[in-house]
Amino acid sequence: MMHLKSQDEIERIRDSCRIAADAMALMVDLVAPGITTAELDEVADAYIRQQGAVASALNYRGYPRSICTSINEVVVHGIPGTRRLANGDIISVDIAVKNAGYHGDMNVSFGVGDIDPETARLLATTKEGLEIGLRTSEPAARLGDVGHQIQTHIEAAGFSVVRDYCGHGIGRNFHEEPQLLHFGTSGTGRRLQPGVVFTIEPMVNAGVADVRVLEDEWTAVTADGMRSAQFEHTIAVTESGPDVLSRFHDLPF
């Protein structure tokens, strides 16, 4: 069952998103060759706790760390550890925060040092797909409209959209209705209404769309070993259009 959020609830979600976004801003200077993903996790977790909040991911269904760090061929749910970033890598950092009873969620893919032109194109196309999805999330649009627009842009660039994971409603629960597929057919799916709050988070692969999950039961990698990128924002549908709750004028996301 989908719960339409009040304006007060939307502002509470925005507050949680602000903490996540500020934690993400710390990653901008830290993501560089030589740092470990565990160090990124420790910095983000410490900042979130300093704000009196908690990381939504920590212990969620047994997940062991506070953020997700997905490098190169890792599509999603990469677990922070001892791996050090290398020049030319890409890393997707997923930060979700629960504050005062409400969750906020976002993801940014970073290039590490000097990345090659095709990797840069993958990052740019993925971010463009997210922006198209955000703009399409107007009142009376359907979920299929959003997914179709994202898919069309990604595939026109020669990349593929991951089918195994989707965007999700968010609020008092980390994952709620509705679910948003980042592919689909226009004119299908649930119609968006003011008060719907959900994430848009396309995962885009340089090669095939297929993924496989490693033995840790979390880390999902591309089936062909090619690279993957992801960008995510939390968005509210309002009478006046889409309101991106995890975007702030003083931050570069």
pLDDT tens-digit series, residues 80-89: 999 999 999 9
Note the pLDDT of residue 232. 98
Q: What is the pTM of this model?
A: 0.97
Amino acid 207 reads G
Where do the domains of the chain lie, and which CATH numbers do they carry? Answer: 7-244 (3.90.230.10)
Confidence of residue 2 (pLDDT cuts 50, 70, 90): confident
Instruction: Determine the pLDDT at residue 145.
Output: 98
Is the pLDDT confidence value at 55 over 90?
Answer: yes
Q: Residue 42: its pLDDT value, please?
A: 98
Please report the pLDDT score of residue 207 as a whole number. 98
Question: What is the pLDDT at residue 130?
Answer: 98
pLDDT in tens, 133-150: 999 999 989 999 999 999
What's the pLDDT at 102? 98
| Three-state secondary structure readout of 167-210 | EEECCCCCCEEEEECCCCCCCCCCECCCCCEEEECCEEECCCCC
Q: Which pLDDT belongs to residue 152?
A: 98
In the chain, the percentage of residues whose pLDDT exceeds 90 is 99
199-236 pLDDT per residue, tens: 999 999 999 999 999 999 999 999 999 999 999 999 99
Residue 24 has pLDDT above 90, yes or no: yes
Average pLDDT of the chain, as a whole number: 98
What is the Cα–Cα distance from 62 to 30, expressed in whole angstroms? 27
Sign of CA pseudo-dihedral 79, 81, 83, 87:
positive
What tokens does 57 get? 């991911």
| Amino acid 1: pLDDT | 79
Strands annotated E in 12-81: 54-55, 68-71, 74-76
Distance in angstroms (rounded) separating the CA atoms of residues 74 and 90: 10
Give 176-206 pLDDT, tens digit per residue: 999 999 999 999 999 999 999 999 999 999 9
Pick from 192, 204, 60: nearest CA to 138? 192
Mean pLDDT of 32-58: 98
Place of tokens 């062909």: 224
